[in-house]
Structure 1
């Protein structure tokens, strides 16, 4: 992963020590990134396995992902799309967009399009509008999800003009990525207000990160803060098995304990779904007592949506759930 951080996001860190500051930990590289485990990958959720056209990922029946741009305003050290993000593949080209539209026209079951990357809002307004116009020509009723960390790391990018443009595409949902309550600043809240005032709902996908938010009080403050900012907590993801990210991952047992705490303290509106993308392209599943079958020989056994059992490494010390053999 390249190093890069916006001046705004850097200013949120109270220390430049990534071992002692939850903001710094997300943008300052650490030696642990050089430790690659045998079960880790640059493509841990198998994007390439489901590539229907260059930059078009069709994994789930009714929705597809478009990798609009490989650039980010800040490169998260826990990024799971390391095979693509910051890889110098650049922006979506005109010919790639034409091919994506051709494939989409042949797959009418696709009703939702996720625009991600990298960060799609790193594109100028005009380029982004060209992409949205081309996609709506294929199907004017697409439900769009704009996956972006820009409100968190560069909130000034959410201008009135950008919000106006995005708001013209009827079913436009914004999915942002807030991991710590200190990221919910007045600047972030103003950016969200601009989006919400144009009729765009905003969801949040957080990642459970060791040393950043694997704490009951931090997660409680995060979820309440999101609701106050008019953002619905959507997912809390268990860390993917991306290369060099072991130092960020908690155990699934710890995640289950944290979710139990949140359910005892917060309203249903504030509770995200705790989930994992199964290794090897198995898909996304919620993590709870029904899907976590137990720990066997150092591996969690997880029940996938296809009924198959998938393995995820048990890397923590907790052993309060399930049977270990």
Structure 2
């Protein structure tokens, strides 16, 4: 090779490198805003000092030790559900106490000590507090519906909700470790915790047996993991014995609100009934704590596949940077972001509902700006039980005769021939 050609090749490589470095600077500039804001969006690992101080205060109040704190039965028995008790843990003025009591007379509330410690760490009126503690806005809402999903009209058998051709829900309990203020089934909470009677579960199982197209069963509530271990084992065994049921799913928020529920005994049961998929509901980075990680690690080691179904909530996570931090934190504890649900128009929850444009903006700021694993699907549930509808930013500007005009994640408008021809 001549000296001239060698020089040309060196010059070509240098030009390529200069182009690549310029592009790298462009990409870096696109994430600089998030990186500078990230410090203002801590996850649960980064508030351990505040959490531990709140935990110590709660343990002292309940005269409990570490062993009791780590016992999920103790957590359930000592849920905070009284405004006067709450006021002994957190400074509340009389008006705030009165508001909580007024709401509590209409809508039940209860918070596990673990989640209350996290709410205290995040601050009064912070994103965890707002999910857990009643707000006067709940009883000002006269526009919502008790059952916007029309579940009462999509229940062909006791305990069953069916919206799709090949899958259905078995609702097993109204009990939760914490009654989320944005709950879609708050009409079912009632005044006492009630698991579905055995006869209801047997009727639901019989419906599954009689309908061979059902290959996917979701066990939910309430919180499905608040059933006793033996009942969970029995229910999963019954589903295992139905030949056409291919997978079982469990809906639970216990990894978020009471990770102590994830015990070695429970994990041994889940491990014996593969394949099992669990979707939880982490809504804010503060919920991703060392305790939540420990629970998720145990579930993963038991062979459970973990996903997350966040709900888009005003003043909690309706911000692209918050949602990005949440999803990236979830991947670090091996939970795959699956859905972002647009909040349903449930009576008493109007103050949580955002505009759809906010959800689209969040999706626009996730795609391309973070790994695809951290990009869930934004979903609006069609009213009256007609199912999940994905909502996406507009990426196809024109589609005509194999020629597509694309809008990329950087908002570049680019022509594309689907057959690769000029």
TM-score by shorter chain over 0.5: yes
Q: Which of the pair has more CA radius of gyration?
A: 2
The match for 2:210 is 106
State the TM-score, normalized to the length of structure 1: 0.85
Aligned equivalent of 1:24, options 81, 105, 129: 129
Q: Distance in 1 between matches of 2:299 and 2:183?
A: 25
Offset at residue 88 of structure 1 (A): 4.1
State the TM-score, normalized to the length of structure 2: 0.66
Q: Distance in 2 between matches of 1:147 and 1:139?
A: 22
Say if 2:151 and 2:384, in contact at 8 Å, map to a contact too.
no
Give the direction of change, closer, same or farther, for the CA distance of 1:142–1:92 in structure 2 (3 Å limit).
farther
Give the direction of change, closer, same or farther, for the CA distance of 1:155–1:2 in structure 2 (3 Å limit).
same
Offset at residue 63 of structure 1 (A): 0.5
The match for 1:259 is 363
Q: How does 1:281-320 map to 2 (within 5 A)?
A: 281-289=385-393
Say if 2:220 and 2:252, in contact at 8 Å, map to a contact too.
yes
Aligned equivalent of 1:10, options 113, 116, 126: 116
Offset at residue 131 of structure 1 (A): 1.6
Q: How does 1:209-220 map to 2 (within 5 A)?
A: 209-220=313-324
Aligned equivalent of 2:296, options 158, 167, 192: 192
CA deviations over 1:250-271 (Å, ceiling 9, x no partner): 1001111111111131111110
The match for 2:64 is none
The match for 2:8 is none
Tell me, what secondary structure is at the counterpart of 2:238? helix
The match for 2:178 is 74
Q: How does 1:32-47 map to 2 (within 5 A)?
A: 32-38=137-143, 40-47=144-151
Tell me, what secondary structure is at the counterpart of 2:162? strand
Say if 2:237 and 2:273, in contact at 8 Å, map to a contact too.
no
Q: Distance in 1 between matches of 2:241 and 2:190?
A: 30
Q: Distance in 1 between matches of 2:127 and 2:216?
A: 33
Offset at residue 194 of structure 1 (A): 0.3
Q: Distance in 1 between matches of 2:139 and 2:346?
A: 12
Say if 1:71 and 1:86, in contact at 8 Å, map to a contact too.
no
What RMSD in Å do the two structures reach over aligned CA positions? Answer: 1.6
Q: How does 1:131-170 map to 2 (within 5 A)?
A: 131-139=235-243, 141-170=245-274
Give the direction of change, closer, same or farther, for the CA distance of 1:89–1:195 in structure 2 (3 Å limit).
closer
CA deviations over 1:127-186 (Å, ceiling 9, x no partner): 211222222223374311111000111111101111110111111001111000010000
Aligned equivalent of 1:223, options 317, 327, 330: 327
Give the direction of change, closer, same or farther, for the CA distance of 1:128–1:3 in structure 2 (3 Å limit).
same
Say if 2:363 and 2:393, in contact at 8 Å, map to a contact too.
no
From the two aligned structures, give the one with the greater helix fraction: 2
Offset at residue 188 of structure 1 (A): 0.3
Tell me, what secondary structure is at the counterpart of 1:234? strand
The match for 2:54 is none
Q: Distance in 1 between matches of 2:295 and 2:382?
A: 33
Q: Distance in 2 between matches of 1:224 and 1:289?
A: 21
Greater Cα offset, 129-138 or 112-121 = 129-138
Q: Distance in 1 between matches of 2:358 and 2:205?
A: 43
Q: Structure 1 regions of 5+ residues with no counterpart?
A: 291-325
Offset at residue 87 of structure 1 (A): 5.6
Say if 1:15 and 1:24, in contact at 8 Å, map to a contact too.
no
Q: Distance in 1 between matches of 2:191 and 2:247?
A: 28
Q: Distance in 1 between matches of 2:272 and 2:245?
A: 13
Q: Distance in 1 between matches of 2:145 and 2:320?
A: 30
The match for 2:397 is none
Offset at residue 30 of structure 1 (A): 0.6
Give the direction of change, closer, same or farther, for the CA distance of 1:25–1:222 in structure 2 (3 Å limit).
same
Does the alignment pair 1:57 with 2:164?
no
